[in-house]
Amino acid sequence: MQFDIRKFDIYRKVPKDLTQPTKAGAVVSIVSVAFILYLFLAEFFTFLSPELVSEVYVDDPVKSYDSIPVYLNISLTKMPCRFVGLDIQDNMGRHEVGFIENSNKRDILDGHGCNFETRFQINKVSGNFHVSTHSSEAQPDAPNFEHILHELRFGSKAAPALLQAYGQVTSFAPLNGKNATSTNDFEMHDYYLKIVPSIVEYKGQRSLPFQFTALYRSLPSFHGGGAMPAIWFRYELAPIVVKYKERSVPFYHFLTQICAIVGGTFTVAGIIDSMIFTASEIVKKVELGKLT
């Protein structure tokens, strides 16, 4: 007995002379093919274009760091350099007045202002650092700390290339270019910072930048019985980590989507074509008076 594999065919064919083409069926077919082509191209370009995804989880936020590097570049437009210094405090008992390592002061505005640039480390606890006149033996008569904050960053020099490619760099430098020059004498400037450690994985490399949010306010200070004015940066570390990575659509997902598009479109198109054909047959019978 000869084995016939055709008995397993579940897609049995109908002879062509037993089928009936219609104009409505042709329109539905053309629209269906165009729709499938459109969705196919959309899925194809999605497959070729990876996306940036982020995950948030609780972890030791800076376990890869003994301390956090900070870079500050600020111009004080009404404070000569001889008065300017940096003080650092934190909850571990650190208290440095007049920090001078890796610092550079440059006269601006004919000596009436000062550009102050510094690099330093902060511990992995809450604290503050502030630009002030506290370390100066002589104090200005009317201290005015109006300023332009050119750059403040935590961690690496710039946001990783992956985040730059997706335009996700604002949260890594939200204060760059901050202008606080319309202020009065004896005015205190406060920046409240929430630092969020991040992990960026891109092309087999892993970097650990820091992003942060910032809230600014200014309020009067009083020379004498009250606190001396200064520019305060009060920071806290968030107990979370944000992980960024680039994710591509898996090829099996792309194939699944294409199969769903083709199968779903032809199924729906078949239903629509059947409904149109049935409706047209009913109309014909009504016109001929054969509908019972």
**What's the mean per-residue pLDDT of the chain?**
84
Condensed to tens digits (0 to 9), the pLDDT of residues 111-160 reads 999 999 999 999 989 999 999 998 888 888 889 999 999 999 998 765 56
- The pLDDT value given to residue 60: 62
Give me the torsion for CA of 95, 100, 102, 106, rounded to 10°: 130
> Taking residues 168-182, what's their average pLDDT?
82
For the cut 60, the answer to whether the pLDDT of residue 258 exceeds it is yes
Condensed to tens digits (0 to 9), the pLDDT of residues 189-219 reads 999 999 998 888 777 777 778 889 999 999 8
Q: How far is CA 163 from the centre of its chain?
A: 7
Q: Which residue has the higher pLDDT, 41 or 16?
A: 41
Q: Where are the domains of the chain?
A: 7-49+250-288, 55-247
What's the predicted TM-score (pTM) here? 0.70
- The pLDDT value given to residue 9: 66
